[in-house]
A and B are shown apart, each in its own frame.
Chain A
Amino acid sequence: MLAIEKKRLNELLRRMNRDFQVYVPYLENGTGKFAPYQEERELYLEMNTLLPPKDIFFPQTEKMYKFRAAGNELEIEEIAEQKEKQVVFGIRSCDAFSIDCLDKVFLSRGYEDAFYKNKRENTLLVGLACTAVGDTCFCQSMGLNPQEAVGVDLQVLDLGAEWGFKARTAAGQELLAKYGDVLHETGASPLPAEEFKLKVEVEGVPEKLSRMFDHPVWEEVSRKCLGCALCTYLCPTCHCFDVSGKVKGEEGYRFRCWDSCMFSEYTRMAGGHNPRPTKKERVRNRFMHKLSYFVERYGQLLCTGCGRCLAKCPVNMDITAVIRKIKEAEVE
């Protein structure tokens, strides 16, 4: 396997950053997030980031087009698509799988989202294997391997004193060839991941849920929810957005921005009717979407077990506990 001594990783990233826009995990005010590589900054590779990398592909606020309307004249200008080649370095297995989920949403089933596609196609993913497993991590229960990410071009493995690299795609091979001069062959073997503290059995849950729309469990589960959007905004797979615009005089632009099914106005219609009037319906929707609807449509769960919602929900809503409740629930 090709490897680099841990203390020389910066040399590799610096080289890469000349050819690509490289995103790496940093700790900012105690919050882990992906940000453009800066030589002098210390990387955060101990644990997963709190903010998921999804905004690299699907920014929280994204301008779509500009317009100018004067009298009967209308001019529309597409907002320049970003074409720069980029590398996301250090993505964990849970987050790599979340990108696979987003690909399904934005690129499959006959509609391609140009904004997402453009960024996605120009991005190489470099996975980072987990050895330390967080208290709230449960990717393994969702069928993922914390050391082998789905859909990455390169997988980085922790070899103790070195970082090892395994190419997963042709593009990954090319990357390794390109930076071969800073890498060396090693016989060291990867450190294993710790035992998971959090486990949950998810088999049968999607099918069972499809018969639980009117189940009393939702009343019980949703009671403590505050209806903020924290869980959905920290979630690497949540992808709802709202389109709005800003107009000033004759000019304006349209943009889209993250939205959340946990907000009361999310489903509020013109005229005031709201088909999801209380938090019961909203919480139900969140879990149904993750654990049932998405499985029906795309054949995979919309939860990767990253545990962010559980770690940060201010009322400790625990998706694994909800899954256990669903398993125990009696259904006619």
Chain B
Amino acid sequence: MKEITQKMRDTARELLSSGQVALVLGWEKGYPWYKSAPTFIDKVEDVERLVFDEFCHNNLSKYLLDLAAVDGKVALFVKGCDSRGVNRLIQDNQVKREQLYIIGIPCPGLKDPDDAAGKNWGDEINGAVKCQDCRFPNPVVYDLLLGEKVPAVERGRETRELIERLEKMKPDERYEFWAGQFNRCIRCYACRNICPACNCRECVFDRAVPEWLGKANNLVENQFMQLTRAIHVAGRCIECGECERACPVNIPLMALNRKIINDIEELFGEEPAGLDPEKKTPLGRFELDDPEKFM
């Protein structure tokens, strides 16, 4: 990863000093040692801040929503999941491909910062839940690829096992399970705000008139918020797992998202979101022979 870090810095230096891009989105070392944070580099002197390590979780594509006003091209680093986020935002007309210089990093899978808490460098640390059954560790879109492509490997089964368990439950049991989860939600909206599929100019939950969702924290409104979000990102969720990682109270949001992804793939024979920016999303188009199994 040291090698990748070096290549990142060289690439960023080259892009900035030649004036090809005005801004580079990357990661820098944060605190504690098991955190890496998004960073914005617009000066050649600052490229030394860039790093790539097992804690570069943030999907930087989300920041493309803020960059409409940047004068010039923007370069950003993407892992496999992040690259699908870029495609999705292009597809949603949130950003233009021509404005981007995409630097791909084949991703070996990241580590879980919560497991690293209290440990030291070099200690054994569990893999990040969000990476456990990543299907596309290699970026699906890029102008430049740093490093060798990596094979997709299964790194854990936690989420899939939970989905299997949920599928076997009776509706009432399933309701109980999710009610127990969403009872804990503190409605901090970290899951929404970090999500590249959440790119509405004004979110329905922020709307004051009419007030679709009240501010009170209670099970009914927490569930309404989460189910609305799950359905709204259906067919657009790129499986980056950032929502679940951001959730401070460990709600297994990916069990919901992945279940929906599985169903869409099964029902509509669709390929996963964010692979092809030209193709309309399965729930964003209508066909006469759409299956109606769930009706």
Known contacts A226-B194, A228-B194, A316-B31; decide if A50 and B215 are in contact (CB<8 Å): no
Considering only CB atoms, which chain B residue lies closest to A317 in the complex?
B37
CB of A60 within 8 A of CB of B186, answer yes
Residue of A nearest to B203 (CB): A264
Binds B, one of A71-79, A115-123, A145-153, A229-237: A229-237
| Smallest CB-CB A-B distances: 9 pairs | A316-B37, A314-B246, A316-B30, A226-B193, A228-B193, A228-B190, A230-B188, A135-B32, A230-B190
B44 on the A face (CB < 8 A): no
List chain A residues, Cβ under 8 A from B31. 136, 198, 310, 316, 318, 320-321
Residues in B49-91 with C-beta less than 8 Å from chain A: 58, 62-63, 66
Query: Does A61 contact B188, Cβ atoms closer than 8 Å?
Result: no
Pick the residue among A228, A230, A234, A257 that contacts B215 (CB under 8 A).
Answer: A257
Taking a contact as CB atoms under 8 Å apart, the answer to whether B214 and A246 are in contact is yes
Least distance between A240 CB and chain B CB atoms (Å):
11
CA distance A315 to B66 in the complex (A): 15
Chain B residues whose CB sits within 8 angstroms of the CB of A258 once the complex forms: 217
List of B residues within 8 angstroms of A28 by Cβ: 184
What's the minimum C-beta distance from B229 to chain A, rounded to whole angstroms?
13
Which residues of the other chain, A, contact B150 by a CB distance below 8 angstroms?
none
Q: Which of B38, B118, B217, B248 contacts A230 (CB 8 A)?
A: B248
Cα distance A328–B91 in the bound complex, in angstroms: 42
- In the assembled complex, the Cα of A29 lies from the Cα of B251 at a distance in Å of 9
B40–A314 CB distance below 8 A: no
Q: How far is the CA of A311 from the CA of B190 in the complex (A)?
A: 14
B189 partner residues in chain A, CB cutoff 8 A = 228-230, 263
What are 15 A-B contacts defined by CB distance under 8 Å? A29-B250, A50-B249, A60-B217, A136-B32, A223-B66, A228-B188, A228-B190, A228-B194, A229-B187, A229-B189, A230-B188, A233-B188, A315-B58, A316-B37, A321-B31
Which residue of A is nearest B30, CB measured? A316
Q: Are B248 and A31 in contact, with the CB atoms below 8 A? A: yes
Beyond A226-B194, A230-B190, whether A315 also contacts B214 by CB under 8 A is no
B218 at the interface (CB under 8 A from A): yes
The 8 Å CB contact of B38, one of A51, A135, A255, A315, is A315
Contact B117 A233 (CB under 8 A): no
Give the docked Cα–Cα distance between A311 and B114 (Å): 9
Query: Residues of B contacting A5 with CB < 8 Å?
Result: none
A10-68 CB contacts (< 8 Å) to partner B = 28-31, 50-51, 60-61
A interface majority secondary structure: loop
Chain A interfacial positions (CB closer than 8 Å to B): 28-31, 50-51, 60-61, 134-136, 197-198, 223-224, 226-230, 233-234, 242, 244, 246, 255, 257-260, 263-265, 268, 310-312, 314-318, 320-321
Cα A255 to Cα B190 in complex, Å, equals 24
B215 x A242 contact (CB < 8 A): yes
B208 touches A31 (CB 8 A): no
Contact yes or no, A268 B208, CB < 8 A: yes
The verdict on B216 contacting chain A, using a C-beta distance below 8 Å, is: yes
B139 to chain A, nearest CB (A): 21
In the complex, are the beta carbons of A230 and B40 less than 8 A apart?
Answer: no
Q: Are A255 and B216 in contact (CB under 8 A)?
A: yes
Cβ contact within 8 Å between B250 and A31: yes
In the complex the two chains form, is B118's CB within 8 Å of A226's CB? no
Q: Does B245 contact A (CB under 8 A)?
A: yes
**A61 and B216 contacting across the interface, CB-CB below 8 Å:** yes
State A224–B60 Cα separation when bound (angstroms): 10
Complex Cα distance, B194 from A234, in Å, reads 17
User: By the criterion CB–CB under 8 Å, are B190 and A314 in contact?
Assistant: yes
Complex Cα gap A164–B246 (Å): 38
Name the residue of chain B whose CB is nearest to the CB of A312: B248
CA–CA, A264 and B62, complex, Å: 17
Residue of B nearest to A321 (CB): B31
Q: Give A233 to B187 CA distance when docked, in angstroms.
A: 9
Which residue of the partner chain, among A60, A227, A234, A265, contacts B208 with CB atoms under 8 Å? A265
Which of A50, A226, A233, A263 has most B Cβ within 10 Å? A226
B window 71-113: CB within 8 A of A: none
* CA–CA, A320 and B30, complex, Å: 11
